[in-house]
Amino acid sequence: MIRYQPPIADLAFALEHVVGYPDIASFPGFEHADLDTVVDLIGQCGDFMAEVVAPTNHSGDVESAHRQPDGSVVTPAGFAEAYRHYVEAGWGSVPLPEEFGGGGFPRTVGLIIQELMTSANMAFALCPLLTQGAIEALLHYGDAGQKRRYLPKMVSGEWTGTMNLTEPQAGSDVGALTTRAVPQPDGSFAITGQKMFITFGDHDMAEQIVHLVLARTPGAPAGTKGISCFIVPKFLVNDDESLGERNSVHTVSLEHKMGIHGAPTCVLSYEEATGYLIGEENLGMRIMFVMMNSARLSVGMQGLAVGERAYQQSLAYAQERRQGLAIGATGADSAIIEFPDVRRMLLTQRASLAALQYLMLLDASYVDRSTHDPNPAARARANEIVGILTPICKSFGSDLGNELTSLALQIHGGMGYIEETGVAQHMRDVRIAAIYEGTNGIQAADLVGRKLGVRGGASVMEFLATMREIGTELAEAGTEFDTIREELDRQFDALEQATQWMLSTGRADPNSVLAGSTPYLRMWGLCTSGWLLARAAVSAPATGDARREESQLVLARFYAEQLLPQCAGLLGAATAGSRDLFALDADQLSGATSRVRH
């Protein structure tokens, strides 16, 4: 295992030359967040994460969070101390409103802080990530008293937050939840039910945990229309804002998981616990989506962040591990980095990670544009683009997290399969990202079912037209960019063909559209990645850094020639329809009908 090296120079390049951060910094309210200040800030943050948080990653995986005999939950050694330093340094408050003690920096900056922390230790980073989602829900829907009581200490990180959605019988079908919320004479509600998969549902890193819990009030409509959202604190808060008696919420058990062992994933039992309604009754789904949409971009970022950590480790190993003799080499043996297939795996990781970096920051930058651009029309358009990009970021980012950590393990060969090298942890940790906060199949369904039809399809077609504009810049950049331009043009054509098919098929045959939604989303991920790498390549000469210019060109060309062609290959799957998916019954799928009977 090697020391984590925060990629600050790459992040600074992405901000200035790929996603247009200087424009964000010019918006009212962000005057203090100019590019130079931000680069200095993330440099300090990177040092903190590498020195304080990263050393807890492997040890936390080995030790795991655990439940004590008295029912309390303890995180691995070093977590609580690292979290205390994190709160003291103020990193969690940087992108949050100044009104409640935050730094008032853009979401784009906050996402970078999350990335650096996730690369350092994904399990640890989940606690601040979920707290931010709870904060955003309260900012949007909490009343003045709730904001005053809970937000200052949540923004500082002294108190943490959770999302309590899932129940054993419901899974992703949130509308099937049965947790009850009964009104009390004092205006509070008695919350009774059980929630599962609650990340950091209990722990020893903060004195208070603010649970946001979905539940049903008496007589509420069935399904998702009858869900409300409640604040249920671990400890009741007194009128003087000191902590009072323990609320009736308890940890029944901790899940034994494939990865993220340092993060306690709790089954929580609410037994007439005191809760406080957020907003109005039956608005729970709307409030939940504030939390979920915030988290979905962050989850896509997890694929990037853990993939980066695994890549750094595999690159170091490829330079150290000597085995065989490369063609044209002399001596007893060669480092495996000299072999073409290892180079292919390394360059696949490097190019894909660069693309994901640009994609995540682009989405975050549009979040900032949607809230702070002075032009109302620009804000509205930015909000549409966020709607398109978020399911792509979540799904494509987490899928690549799986694939890239697998490549890192492959480069290690047999030693990658041995836990002591540490590379297997990255693969185990990141696997959950494709599942939680809405599985990637749900993201694909959201893309084709909700986002594709915005303004009759005009929204996505305008975005595709914007991506096509890179062709002119590539043509002007020189002949070395020709293959990038030609391949992008071919793949944009394939994506447009798939999009037109989706738009024309959707109303008449929604099952067929859903059947092709996952490969269709992958087409979007590949095309946006190729486009952003091309943008980086044509922008790199402005840095005056010849090595940066060369590397960006090579990454864009490698991606265009060797990875991007997968897009057209998915066209058939995206437009095949649902006939064969439903042609076989369960017995046929099991092969039962083909068994020889005696």
- The residue whose two tokens read 């940087």 is 94
DSSP element (H, E) containing 67: strand 66-67
CA quadruple 191, 196, 198, 199: dihedral, nearest 10: 170
DSSP strand pairing (189-199 vs 208-215)? unpaired
In the chain, what is the greatest distance between 2 CA atoms, to the nearest angstrom? 85
Residue 162 phi/psi, 5-degree rounding, is -135, 165
DSSP string, 157-203: TSEEEEEE---TTTTT-GGG---EEEE-TTS-EEEEEEEEEEETSS-
Q: Is residue 161 exposed (0-12), middle (13-18) or buried (19+ Cβ within 10 Å)?
A: buried
- For the chain, the helix, strand and coil percentages under 3-state DSSP, each to the nearest 5: 65, 10, 25
Neighbours of 465 (CB within 10 A): 11
Helix (H, G, I), strand (E, B) or coil at 250: strand
Rounded CA gap, 582 and 588, in Å?
A: 11
Q: How far apart are CA 69 and CA 78, in angstroms?
A: 21
Nearest to 125 by CA among 225, 199, 178: 199
Q: How far is CA 550 from CA 183, 483, 532, 537, 545, in A?
A: 65, 16, 16, 8, 9
Q: What angle do CA 139, 141, 142 make, to 5 degrees?
A: 75
Read off φ and ψ for residue 275, nearest 5 degrees.
-130, 160
| Chain position carrying tokens 């090298």 | 421
Phi and psi at 579, nearest 5°, equal -50, -55
Strand partners, 335: 322
Give the side-chain half-sphere CA count within 13 A for 539. 16
10 Å CB burial of residue 522 (0-12, 13-18, 19+) is buried
- Which 3 state secondary structure label does DSSP give 332? coil
Q: Which of 16, 136, 167, 437 is catalytic?
A: 437
Task: For residue 87, give Cα distances in angstroms to 82, 107, 204, 316.
Answer: 9, 19, 14, 32
Structure tokens at 152: 């200052």
Which amino acid, 593? T
d(CA 123, CA 163): 16
Q: State yes or no: is 98 an active-site residue.
A: no
Q: With b meaning 16 or more CB within 10 Å and e meaning fewer, what string describes 185-205?
A: eeebbbbbbbbbbbbbbbbeb
Residues marked active site are found at: 437
